[in-house]
């Protein structure tokens, strides 16, 4: 295994009229290839912010983020975007499906943007996620569980090396939560995709290989 993404001495603070608030400091994490991670912690400790920093969506106040051997924030903006598109994908809590595109078009959207469209690969994902009968449907007609599966398929269609999921089961019932988690774990194993899941559930966290807890502005293994 090798490091897919490495966070080195990461700190993050927010500044307001009343002063600065530090979310976390001196965070060091190596996300290795083909490994599954749970990121747990109380609401408001900065889990989503840390995920955004790791995926290159948000810059840290200090510290370095490495994609392989490349120091992400030392690159030009155009190279950052290219690296982010080729290396990562994110599943958001709100699904973020495009309402004017049907399920098939939503799934193919990101893969076409980064020129990684592979019809056979996408067909296999659609089969794995049991979306074959929904391809012509519009997002507004889907249940929460179905929308989440489409969001997962869209992320995977781009063939990321590391998949970030922000509370992927947070708005789902127990049955659909289990389905989505099982699918994510199957994807991690079948496609050798690194997986990082933010969750409040210790039951979900226990099913992933590495559990990281963000607490008192520090990160530690559980």
Q: CA 206, 194, 122 angle in degrees (round to 5)?
A: 115
Residue 193: count of CB within 10 angstroms of its CB: 22
Pick from 218, 212, 213, 203: which is nearest to 35 by CA?
212
pLDDT over 80 at 173, yes or no: no
Helices (H), the chain: 47-54, 77-87, 103-113, 119-128, 144-157, 174-190, 202-205
Please state, in angstroms and as integers, the Cα–Cα distance from residue 57 to each residue in 67, 90, 137, 139, 157, following that order: 13, 10, 30, 25, 20
Helix, strand and coil percent figures for the chain, each rounded to 5: 40, 30, 35
Q: Name the residue with higher pLDDT: 137 or 176.
A: 137
Per-residue confidence band for 37, with pLDDT thresholds at 50, 70 and 90: very high
Q: Is 3-221 a CATH 2.30.40.10 domain?
A: no
SS3 212: strand
Q: What is the pLDDT of residue 23?
A: 94
Is residue 1's pLDDT more than 70? Answer: no
In a 3-state reduction of DSSP, which class is residue 141? helix
Report the SS3 class of residue 200. coil
Q: Global pTM?
A: 0.88
43-61 confidence digits (pLDDT tens): 999 999 999 999 999 999 9
Rounded-to-integer distance, Cα 59 and Cα 52, Å: 8
Task: State residue 162's pLDDT score.
Answer: 94
Mean pLDDT of 83-92: 90
Percent of the chain residues topping a pLDDT of 90: 61
CA 18 from centroid of its chain's CA atoms: 33
pLDDT at 171 over 80: no
Q: For residue 51, what pLDDT is reported?
A: 96
Residue bearing the bigger pLDDT, 129 or 62: 62
For residue 169, the SS3 value is coil
Q: Which sign, positive or negative, has the C-alpha torsion 86, 35, 93, 7?
A: negative
Rounded average pLDDT over 26-51 = 95
- Selected residue with higher pLDDT from 80 and 174: 80
Model confidence over 119-160: pLDDT tens digits?
998 998 898 888 999 999 999 999 988 998 899 899 888 888
φ/ψ of residue 63, rounded to 5? 105, 175
């Amino acid at each position: 295994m090798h490091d897919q993404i490495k966070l080195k001495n990461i700190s993050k603070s927010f500044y307001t009229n009343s002063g600065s608030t530090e979310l976390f400091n001196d965070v060091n994490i190596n996300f290795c290839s083909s490994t599954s991670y749970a990121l747990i912690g109380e609401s408001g400790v900065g889990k989503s912010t840390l995920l955004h920093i790791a995926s290159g969506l948000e810059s840290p106040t200090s510290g370095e983020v490495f994609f392989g051997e490349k120091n992400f924030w030392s690159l030009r903006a155009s190279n950052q975007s290219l690296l982010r598109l080729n290396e990562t994908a994110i599943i958001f809590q709100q699904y973020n499906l495009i309402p004017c595109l049907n399920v098939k078009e939503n799934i193919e959207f990101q893969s076409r943007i980064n020129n990684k469209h592979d019809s056979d690969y996408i067909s296999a994902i659609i089969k794995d996620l049991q979306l074959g009968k929904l391809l012509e449907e519009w997002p507004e007609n889907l249940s929460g569980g179905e929308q989440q599966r489409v969001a997962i398929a869209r992320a995977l269609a781009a063939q990321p090396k590391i998949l970030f999921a922000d509370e992927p089961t947070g708005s789902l019932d127990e049955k659909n939560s289990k389905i989505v988690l099982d699918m994510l774990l199957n994807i991690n194993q079948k496609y050798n995709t690194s997986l990082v899941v933010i969750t409040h559930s210790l039951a979900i966290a226990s099913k992933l290989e590495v559990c990281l807890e963000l607490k008192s502005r520090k990160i530690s293994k559980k």
